[in-house]
Amino acid sequence: MPCPENIIPPKKGEIRNPKGKPKGTKNRATILKKWIKVKVKIKDKSNPLLKEITGTVEDEIMLALIHKARSGDVQAIKEINDTLYGKIIDKHDVEHSGSIVIDFTND
């Protein structure tokens, strides 16, 4: 049973949880999006002849994923395929609604 004070909407200016998260606090996704776009120097491990290049943290992560896939990491290969071509739907996950009528009569 819900607490009755939670059912009634708060009055204007009323603070129900004064020790809660302060207004304007950024969530994890917002902070991650900021830092993943930061420019960094990248050394491609899969090609040692390549000099350092400038890219984003996201570029560096993708290169690391490609490197793992090239070395035979099946999870990395699956992640790349899912990203490029979409996830494969398991036939057991598909739900059918309604009915299917099959007519076996020969007319």
pTM above 0.95, yes or no: no
Instruction: List Cβ neighbours of 10 (8 Å cut-off, separation of 6 or more).
Output: 16
* Token pair 């009528």: residue: 101
DSSP-derived secondary structure for 33-48: HHHHT-EEEE--TT-T
Q: Classify residue 92 by burial, with Cβ atoms within 10 Å: 0-12, 13-18, 19+.
A: exposed
pLDDT recorded at residue 48: 73
- Full pLDDT tens readout for the chain, 107 residues: 667 766 788 788 887 788 888 888 999 999 999 999 999 999 877 677 778 889 999 999 999 999 999 999 999 999 999 999 998 877 766 676 777 777 777 76
Alpha helices (H) along the chain: 4-7, 28-36, 57-70, 74-85
Helix count (H) and strand count (E) of the chain? 4, 2
pLDDT recorded at residue 96: 66
Phi, psi of 79 (to 5 degrees): -60, -45
CA gap 92, 84 in Å, rounded: 23
The one-letter amino acid code at 70 reads R
